Amino acid sequence: MAVLDALVAIENGRAADRVLKAAFDRRKWLPPARSRIARLTLGVCRHRAQLDWWLEQAGCRSAPLARLAAALVLIEGLDKGQLRKHLPHLPTPETHAAQFLMDHTLDHPDQPAAVRSNLPSWLMPHLKARFGDRLLAEATALCGEAGLDMRANAIKGGRDAAMAALAEDGIIALPTPYSPVGLRVEGRPAIARSRAWREGLVEVQDEASQLAALILGAKPGERVLDFCAGAGGKTLAIAAAMANKGRLIATDSDERRLTEAVTRLRRADVHNVTRHVIGAEGDKWLSRQKGAFDRVLVDAPCTGTGTFRRNPDAKWRSSAEELAHLTALQAKLLDRAAALVKPGGRLVYATCSILAAEDEDQIDAFLARHAGFRIVPLADAWAAVGSEVPEPGAGPHLLLTPARHETDGFFAAVLERLP
């Protein structure tokens, strides 16, 4: 069964999105079958803590096959006969566990908070410190499913043109509440088959990620650096804000990911981007760029806690040790990027994390190390976004969460180098 094969691969440490893509590339299933395979696979990842809790109550060892059987009963609501059709050769322990679970639902009052939230236990104190009384609502939203957001490409006509092109293919898209170039799509249509996608009028990108790129405030003619560009999602958004004018450099330590950006740049008709692979600490190119940029974006590697809706398998690979490693790396990247900002220029630090250790704490520590920078309050920085609505929330930083804003969890701080 395709779902079981995917769950075994995920259990062995592979990312769910890559596992599913490889499976769909091998087998040409029709879209309804693909959708069901993906939904069930990610559903097991999404609710793994509760599934494991119930399997323990049933006296069954947690493993991919047992979790799948439990999910079919507790999430899909299958009865004994339906379960046998889906899993005809289910071993005896898993069969007994499934029969036990047929008298229950996924939720139970005896489940600990981490189990009810389907989050790893080590993460709960961090989320409690962040959200306080809103912990349950935010944790529940993190366990939900994300919608589909897109960014309209201003280089090729903007949001109205994108909406019209999508409508030609029967895809209903509505403006997002905060991003002036964002679109939210109903359902899960085949975006890649649409004319809007093929012609580069749209790019799939969560609204929060769009805002992190827009708040940089890059203008046509400036010299801008996307310091941790990856596959180029925010690079594309910045290039559109610059109207293809000026110089935008995308750097990353992963050459493979930077190469992936090439196709996206061509489809979007972006011409002002050059790519550079960053090497070790002593990268000579970086040493020659001190004080050279008007704007620098550091979209730092992070735990990805804000994207657990999209990547539910990632929460089970996260750990306190990983957090410690990443916070040290984030501080190092910020220090390296700071030297590249010209006097009066701006540095934006962003993460798709909702943990203070990766967000506000990093900014406070950075300002303590770098007296030549100041924080730009969100109310002032928001003008660069070009949105008709007020900034989402008070405070000096941009902090978005699924429960409050219906976006991925995201953090961004705007820093300005003093003259």
Indicate whether 142 belongs to any domain. no
Q: Tell me, yes or no, whether 127 lies in a domain.
A: no
> What pLDDT does residue 284 have?
83
Q: Tell me: the pLDDT tens digits for 347-371?
A: 999 999 999 999 999 999 999 999 9
Check whether 169 is labelled as a binding-site residue. no
Say if 135 falls within a structural domain. no
Total number of domains in the chain = 3
Same-domain status, 259 and 364: yes
Q: What percent of the chain has pLDDT over 70?
A: 99
Secondary structure string (H, E, C) spanning 187-236: CCCCHHHCHHHHCCCEEECCHHHHHHHHCCCCCCCCEEEECCCCCCHHHH
**Residue 219: per-residue pLDDT:** 96
- Which helix (H) or strand (E) element contains residue 295? strand 293-299
Instruction: List helix spans (H) across 339-419.
Output: 360-369, 378-381, 402-405
Q: Please identify, among 161, 176, 204, the residue that sits at the C-terminal boundary of a domain.
A: 204
Residue 393: predicted pLDDT: 86
CA 47 – CA 112 distance, rounded (Å): 14
Does 134 map to a domain? no
Boundary (domain end) residue, out of 166, 185, 204: 204
> Is 363 part of a structural domain of the chain?
yes
Statement to judge: residues 214 and 196 lie in one domain: no
**Residue in 352, 394, 40 with CA at minimum distance from that of residue 206:** 352
Owning domain of residue 36: 2-115
Co-location of 238 and 176 in the same domain: no
Q: Are residues 98 and 222 in the same domain?
A: no
299 is in an annotated binding site: yes
- If asked whether residues 269 and 389 sit together in one domain, one would say yes
Same domain for 172 and 269 = no
Per-residue pLDDT reduced to its tens digit, 169-214: 999 999 999 999 999 998 888 898 899 999 999 999 999 999 999 9
The verdict on 200 and 257 lying in the same domain is no
Whether residue 297 is contained in a domain is answered as: yes
CATH of the domain at 162: 3.30.70.1170
* In a shared domain, residues 213 and 185: no
pLDDT at residue number 338: 97
Per-residue pLDDT reduced to its tens digit, 77-130: 998 889 988 898 899 999 999 999 998 999 999 999 999 999 999 999 999 999
Can you give the pLDDT at residue 282?
58
Q: Are residues 267 and 383 in the same domain?
A: yes
Same domain, 365 and 266: yes
The residues annotated with a catalytic role in the active site are 352
Does 121 fall in a domain? no
Looking at the fold, whether 61 and 88 belong to one and the same domain comes out as yes
Do residues 67 and 48 touch, judged by C-beta distance below 8 A? yes
Q: Is residue 194 part of a domain?
A: yes
Residue 67 and residue 164 in one domain: no
